[in-house]
Chains A and B, each alone.
Chain A
Amino acid sequence: MSKRLLLLGQWLLLIMVSPALRAQNQCSITLKGKVVDAHTREPIAFASVAILDQDIGTLADENGNYILPNLCAGTYVLVCSHVGCHHAQHEFEIKADMSWDFELEEVSIVLQEVVVSEEAPVLEATQSSSTLDAAQLQSERGLSLGDAMSQLPGVTTLNTGATIAKPVIQGLHSNRVLILNNGVRQEGQQWGSEHAPEIDPFLADKVTVIKGASSVRYGADAIGGVVLVEPRPLPQQAGIGGEANLQAFSNGRVGIASGMLEGRLKGKLPLSGRLQGTVKRGGNLQTPGYYLDNTGVEELNFSWAVGLQQKQWSTEAFYSRFYTQLGIFSGSHIGNLTDLQQAIERERPLGEGSFTYDIGRPMQRIYHELFKWRSSLETGQAGTLQLQLARQFNRRQEFDAHRQYGSLPDDLDIPQIEFEITTHTAELSWEHRPVRRLWGSLGTHFMRQANTTDRGALIPNYENYSAGAFWIERWKHYPFPLELEGGLRYDYQWMDVGRQGQDSIGRQLEFSNISGTAGAIYRFPKLLNLRFNFGTAWRAPNVSELFSKGVHHGAASYEEGDPNLRPERAYNTSLTAEVNDVDKLQASLNFYYNVIDDFIFLEPRAEPVLTIRGAFPAFDYAQSNARLAGLDWQAAYELLPGLEVGSKGSLLDAWNRSRKEYLSLMPPFRFEHSLKYTFGKAGADKAEAPFLRFSMTNVLKQTRIPAERDYAPPPPAYTLFQVEGGAQLRLGKQPLELGFTVFNLFNTPYRDYLNRFRYFADETGRNVSLRLRLPFGLESGS
């Protein structure tokens, strides 16, 4: 039984799509069989078996046996899948009870598993998308969410020092990337480049990045893409299980402990529940030459979920709380342009620094709370109705290097900047049953958001109301190789802008527009999938772009918004080719061409702004027509048994069409090459077999920059090496997962163009991380 709970982590990736079968009088045929490993013939526990294009499916039991009762006579395509295996499918003509055994092939890396999720069963995105599954996330545990995602092709990070990382998808970030945390659009202070996503990475069991305009399903603003952060589904079987994670990093002497306990009641009220929490503490980080003063971090997060699943309906409540206090490298805090030039000229911070866990000013304290309730109802032949209500609260406090003048010494705890934003959302969607091979869903979305700026006057207070509706349809006729998709969305937004500092703005702004998508997937059997997508999306200017007014001390710049900005409009074309050769090769190549009209960016003013603190370079929010074109790839090839070579790359060319120059702050060309050796025979346990992986990341110097506008030229190219390994042990019956990673193996000093602190200090040096995961289960006595 403990093995069953051990495997929870694997099969929970797949949600069983409505095990309740729609039994009908004439439909009483039973299909049953066994799921086994193609090589060893050993049973594979908890694989999913589903009928393609219908909401019928089940999970195999711990001995690999599955049963699908109450089928109607007819022709079906059955798909059997399991994490770590290639899925298998078979077409049947079913007249009477029959049995069929599935043989699954193991894969060494899971790139694009058939993702069966609650929202969109069997419908894959026509855009390019990449997923970090539970196993891949495992080896990135302890890093921030942004850093963990940066191993996906086309995804980089925008950093503020070593403690703040935001995901950048194909050159776009912040307000142009939507993050859906457990199905809820994350609403914090995401407009700022030094505002990292407020999500506990240990909560995520799967992270999917959909690249390109994805507004129709996920909402306006998703010009750059969407990040789906999903916790694992609640347990489907009675009993209690959980896991403990411990992790340590040498650089910064970081310690992390994360635990999770989950279970499901037996009997008439099969409630499921989970409790999860993470504690993290780290001190000053170290570059190859010196410590970075005040770069400690503290994090304290927890979440709980309770759910009930019945044949016709299910309901789930989820609550999560994220709290972090993080130090901002003190050498980055400067007063004016002269200070910045002096910092650049001295080429390294003053002093060697020293190690401490204490966090002083400047620092940030961030608190994010999410409560959500989601229910779905099977409406018989009509489809599935789903309602989701959520409330989010975000508080961001920024503490400058020294307290404001005029306050007393006991006020040291008062921040210079404090924003509080409360967001309520309601979503109602209906997924209809297939009609003439058309699958689709319709939905509406409502949001109310209120921001109050309690301290500082960088952005005004505002209230924002928005509503949207979408309709998306997919045509699919198995085994015809072509799949087509089209969708439309309309969004309306009304904003009431109140006071900013001492000024009363009192402006109402209204925006509305449509988004659209058209896509196709063409499958050459057993060889190649082609995906094509054309998406158009828009984004209303954010309140910071409209009304920002003030000095950013970390950046030594004065920024001024423009209340007359128009919405951005993106037209994104993406073409993806995927090779899935079962034995040897897995590869995907994505080309994108993203035209953005009225792209909002910061334009330097000719004259600096003079203040009593000295001169600051001034920037105005301006609009221009832009074009971002690029290529991302990922490939893995099994050279010898157990030995795999991998390659990833991201190339981007970002052009301001109106000004005829490059856009600034875009990720330079980036490549990663890797060699992975898996010890042990190809067996049922291969996914858990010990492995060793070397990788080399090569980032070129960014040469695509607008002329003469930066304080310092982009840093030179750099190459980093990394080695990691993992193994699973067994102490008696207790499984134990161990892993290590050495980041920046050769302690190479380097600076990154997309780090705003590149003017002040090097990136962090060698970092050895050790991790231990202890999954456990207790019998329920069934």
Chain B
Amino acid sequence: MQSINSKFTRFLFFFLAASLTVWTSCEKDDDEGPDNEEELITTVRLTFTDSAGNDNIFTFSDTDGAGGNPPVAQDITLAPNTSYALSVEFLDESDAANVEDITEEIKTESDEHRLCFDYTLPIASIDNLNLDGNGKPLGLTSSVSTGDAGTGTLTLSLKHQPDKDSATPCATGETDVEATFDVIVQ
């Protein structure tokens, strides 16, 4: 009995000694990672193309990220009672020398995203949203019709992982972008 137990004791201490050498593998600060660089969306670019093929481009941008300078929105100026094809692009312009287009990313993950438009007259309608891989609305391209001359607003938001089956998909998901423009139709 005694010899068994002393073997046990020896085993335990061998085990502990082994753990000393094996598990004292102190973790070190590895300094991995992209050194604080994270890509973000800094700019929303709206391109309104009329039937003659003329592009009207307006941007909403916050190149220095949250805090600092507030975002700058250009006024959207359109003609009355006209139809436009609208295409939306998202860019990372935090490094002016290396502007990245994040729209592709959203296209690749189209079923996880949805663009939502909240507008007042003089925009009469926004419809014909393009579809994601599952045949549900995505909205990177759409059709816009203006009404009579006047001023109003357009709020565009990019929702991430919205519930696209919901009756109000734009009230679900996480908001990645929310950009409000003043609209002038003249």
Contact = CB atoms under 8 A, between A and B. Distances in A.
Q: Do A and B bind each other?
A: yes
Contact of B5 (A414, A450, A499, A778): A778
A568 interface: no
A405 B20 CA distance: 43
Q: How large is the interface on B (under 10, 10 to 19, 20 to 34, 35 or more residues)?
A: 35 or more
B125 to A, nearest CB: 23
Interface stretch (A48-56, A261-269, A642-650): A261-269
A502 B34 CA distance: 11
Interface stretch (B61-69, B81-89, B136-144, B146-154): B61-69
A66 B182 CA distance: 89
A393 B42 contact: no
B67 A609 contact: yes
Interface in A86-117: none
A597 interface: no
A781 B178 contact: no
B71 A610 contact: yes
B79 interface: no
Range of interface residues on A (Cβ < 8 Å): 35 or more
B161 A401 contact: yes
B19 to A, nearest CB: 5
B48 interface: no
Nearest to A453: B36
Given A263-B9, A273-B16, A612-B41, A499 B176 contact: no
A406 B102 contact: yes
Given A405-B92, A781-B5, A456 B65 contact: no
B92 A306 contact: no
A240 interface: yes
A342 B171 contact: yes
Contacts of A338: 175, 178
Interface in B16-65: 16, 19-20, 23-24, 26-44, 60-62, 65
A335 B178 contact: yes
A778 B41 contact: no
A734 B134 CA distance: 61
A613 B175 contact: yes
B172 A455 contact: no
Contacts of B24: 319, 371
Main secondary structure of the interface of A (DSSP, over half): strand
A240 B5 CA distance: 8
Interface in A147-163: none
Contacts of A450: 29
Contacts of B12: 240, 261, 263, 273, 275
B29 to A, nearest CB: 5
Nearest to A400: B174
A334 interface: yes
A471 interface: no
Contact of B38 (A238, A371, A404): A404
A321 interface: yes
B97 interface: no
10 contacts: A334-B174, A335-B175, A350-B163, A393-B29, A406-B39, A406-B92, A420-B30, A612-B62, A613-B178, A780-B5
- Closest 7 pairs (CB-CB, A-B): A335-B175, A614-B178, A781-B2, A454-B33, A406-B39, A273-B16, A335-B174
Interface of B: 1-2, 5-6, 8-9, 12-13, 15-16, 19-20, 23-24, 26-44, 60-62, 65-67, 70-71, 90, 92, 100, 102, 105, 112, 157, 159-161, 163, 166, 171-179
